[in-house]
Chains A and B, each alone.
Chain A
Amino acid sequence: MTGVLAIDPLLFGELKWMPLVIVALKVLVIFVVGLVGTMFMVWFERKVIAGMQNRIGPNKAGPFGILQTLADGVKLFFKEDLLPDRADRFVFRLAPFLAFVPAFLVWAVLPLGGDYRDGNRGLVEWFGHATRVQLADPPVGILLVLALSSIAVYGIMLAGWSSGSKYPLLGAVRATAQMVSYEAALGLSLAAVLLTSGSLSTVGIVGTQDSLSNWNVVATGVVPFVIFVIAATAELNRPPFDLVEAEQELVGGFNTEYSSLRFALFFLAEFMNTITMSGVIVTLFLGGPQPLAIGDWTADIPLVGNGLEGTIWFLLKLLLFLYIYVWFRATLPRLRYDQLMDLGWKVLIPISLGWFLLLAALRLGRDEDWNVWLVAGVSVAGLLVAAVVMFGAMKVSGRNRQQGAVY
């Protein structure tokens, strides 16, 4: 069982009470912070969008309307819980949890702070025990995020199907196709990060990003980062990829028939996914809790210990991405469905695959001491040939489809 226990340095050696208490405390903190963070996110999104649209936004409940989400939540709790006649009872009840639980579990593998400077592996002292500001560091690390996001697909899909009504079903079919398609691009750009960091565990990935030039956004050459952000937006079903709940076409999408608490669970899951996905991006590409460091110079926050400083850096980077997501929603118009699929399959997947191959070739060249420019030139030429062949094939198939030769 050593491998299972390796998820936290606390759990090595014989089991004592204190480590268990610390782990329970971490679970509690993550749960509470997750819920409060989601509340904050809903308010933040409404307020920022209001600002961008020259409105005031929520301003009645509490200072700056910050308690608006709490009021909405209380209202949802006291609403009637409907169960449609044609619904599949068991699956209808199960679906919200399948959406909600994975959204929470992603928190477990994200390093939320800790001291990663000077080769420290994020270890901090709590009550005399060495631990990490992270619930677990399983050997599969970041793959857990992919696995959980593939379970989250079930939540949406089953919710739409079990409602026994056509709009939710259409929304669910759209959502599933979209999420499965973009998961491929997501995984391929993730592979570029794993290739550069050489580890699956989030601690290892954060550990290699110790200065700005080692941040994976720079080290992998920006392209995987851009693709990851686009694919993550699609994975989250956020605008401009929110065809899943396009009100003009589908009433409300997969959750049309849901009300009260079950709807609240979907709502929570959606916003929490936005936060956790931003956290994943920060961890993978922007060094997570690592401070901003250029060469020998490190941006040090005064008066704060290194352990706590990690959390502050993480939150700052997280806020940046939350703002970007809101910005997307305020600026970009929704894509048409065929544009969505074309972007995913014909643009993002080929580019991320090609970029991954290029990175792998450069890496091999560096390990074997080959001439960098020669390796880069040959690989780029090969990729260009592949791209020309692919565009030729797409052109032919497009022409065939227009002439109606094949169907």
Chain B
Amino acid sequence: MTSATVQETDVEDLESFIARARAWALENLPLAVDNAQARADADDHVNQVAKARRMQRLIFEGGFAGLRYPKEYGGQGLTREHQLAWREVTADRDIGCLSQFKVTHGIMGPTLLDFGTEEQKQHHIPAMLRGDELWVQFLSEPSAGSDLASLLTRAQREGDVYVLNGSKIWSTFAHVSDYAFVLSRTNLDVPKHSGLSMLILPIHSKGVTLRTIQLSTGSAEFCEEFFDDVMIPVVDIVGQENDGWNVVMRLFFHERNMVGGNSLNDQDAAGVGESAVSTEEELLALAHSVGNSKDSHTRQLIGEALVLDRLADHTIQRVNALMKSGALPGPGASIVKLMRSLSKYRFKEIALEVGGAHVVFGGPADEVGGHGHRWLVARVGTIAGGSSEMQRNAISERVLGLPRDPSPDTKLPFRDVLSQRKR
């Protein structure tokens, strides 16, 4: 099940690609803006998405979209090396908005390549690469997060359609997106993992009510959705009926690859919830502006933050190489996810300590006060995209091979699981 098998023979050589990409980027892509500006831009979702769509279309027309996607679906049929070269060439360009497409290109497209029908792929993949279709995942529910397989949203088969009822939550940027993968229950009379199906849903369909969720900082990139008798044609199922768990496992595989910087998404995408991360420079600037840059306790803390910041790349490279050689199994990617989550969290804690009383005053965009606001959502990174506890389960059970936790409900028909719950 390889997503994009590239025939080595007709691949453009790296040097000529780099020359072509550099010339094109110089002419077509604007220079990057500074971090504070990028953060301010990112908060305006509607404009940011509109900009991302325009930029993606430009890249598509320039012949650089979907570098590792197969040519028959509008991609370039190139390799990981070309993708890395592209990232280098575009590193100083203003393409931060394209992170809007990381889920579409890094997770949803690859999953569709793996499980989609030929019609689905022809219809959607070129549109994703052109910037016309933004995709999100509708997975978590108010009562099912870490234990995703116990979700309640029902898709009842009625002739040629599934009738969808239920609700989803924590879908990022759904309000400005076009399509979703909806994981829903198509059979209640089998164990929880065996009765799920993955469906393609146009987000703005009749019967879908969407609300953005305001986080404690006031930012609103997460959404929740309610489904009332939403009709989904049977042809829009991805993979087999009741085989949705298999599809979502593959989706998670692609998500882990994306977090590790090695997916079909061409931009170097940070993990979920990292848009609000402070940089090394900002931490140093904070120490200077609150006047404790010479304080030895502060310097130790900053040293610790720098260590955490800089060990990331070396860990990622090692884990990716070990996974590629088979020395680490796929869930090894959880090592990267947990490392990033723990490091970023600690980084924000350190900013709070370095800034002292100064960081609890001021607005979210303030140079100093911003650190305090970002602290409020420091936990997003250790919860979203698979909580740290789930990563620890995956590492201990599926990387280290330690005994699995008992789960009393995996063999029972889901209907019985539900009735036991109500007692």
Chain A complexes with chain B: no
